[in-house]
């Protein structure tokens, strides 16, 4: 298996623009997590899906953030409009029921 695949790896955009981050989970994994990592806050859980259903989105910072999982093989995290404070590395991770998380390589977002 190719592992968790995230795109884009790097995104530079201007304040106010829409940003869409994508994740392809490992086949068969029924849990998917979106994390944000910054120096100030460390690793923050944004949202968690189980069997494509959002279970806990209490970590989503505000309404500008939204996440979807239309099927078992694809998820998106969208920021609209983006702000400089959204600059971070965003990770997608999946789990198959053993408790272990498998992380993608992350999407580094810079909002100017």
Partner 1 sequence: AQSVTQPDIHITVSEGASLELRCNYSYGATPYLFWYVQSPGQGLQLLLKYFSGDTLVQGIKGFEAEFKRSQSSFNLRKPSVHWSDAAEYFCAVGAEGGSYIPTFGRGTSLIVHP
Question: Which residues of the shown chain bind partner 1 in the complex (CB under 8 A)?
Answer: 4, 31, 33, 42-43, 45, 48, 50, 55-56, 91, 93, 95, 99-106
User: Would you say 45 or 72 has its CB closer to partner 1?
Assistant: 45
Query: Residue 34: how many CB atoms within 10 A of its CB?
Result: 25
Q: Tell me how far, at minimum, the Cβ of 74 lies from partner 1, in Å.
A: 18
Nearer of residues 65 and 91 to partner 1, judged by Cβ: 91
- H helices present in the chain, as ranges: none
The DSSP letter of residue 61 is: -
Q: Nearest distance from residue 20's CB to partner 1, in Å?
A: 19
State the nearest-atom distance from the C-beta of 48 to partner 1, in Å. Answer: 6
> CB 40: neighbour CB atoms within 10 A?
6
Cβ closest to partner 1, residue 65 vs residue 104: 104
Tokens at residue 12, please? 């530079």
| 73 Cβ neighbours under 8 A, 6+ residues apart | 24, 25, 27
């Amino acid at each position: 298996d190719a592992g968790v695949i995230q795109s884009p790896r790097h995104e530079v955009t201007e304040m106010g623009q829409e940003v869409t981050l994508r994740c392809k989970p490992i086949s068969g994994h029924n849990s998917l997590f979106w994390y944000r990592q910054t120096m100030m806050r460390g690793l923050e859980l944004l949202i968690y899906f189980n069997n494509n259903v959002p279970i806990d989105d209490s970590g989503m910072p505000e309404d500008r953030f939204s996440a979807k999982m239309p099927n078992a093989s694809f998820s998106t995290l969208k920021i609209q409009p983006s702000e400089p404070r959204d600059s971070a590395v965003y990770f997608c991770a999946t789990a198959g029921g053993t408790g272990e998380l498998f992380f993608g390589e992350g999407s580094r977002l810079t909002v100017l």
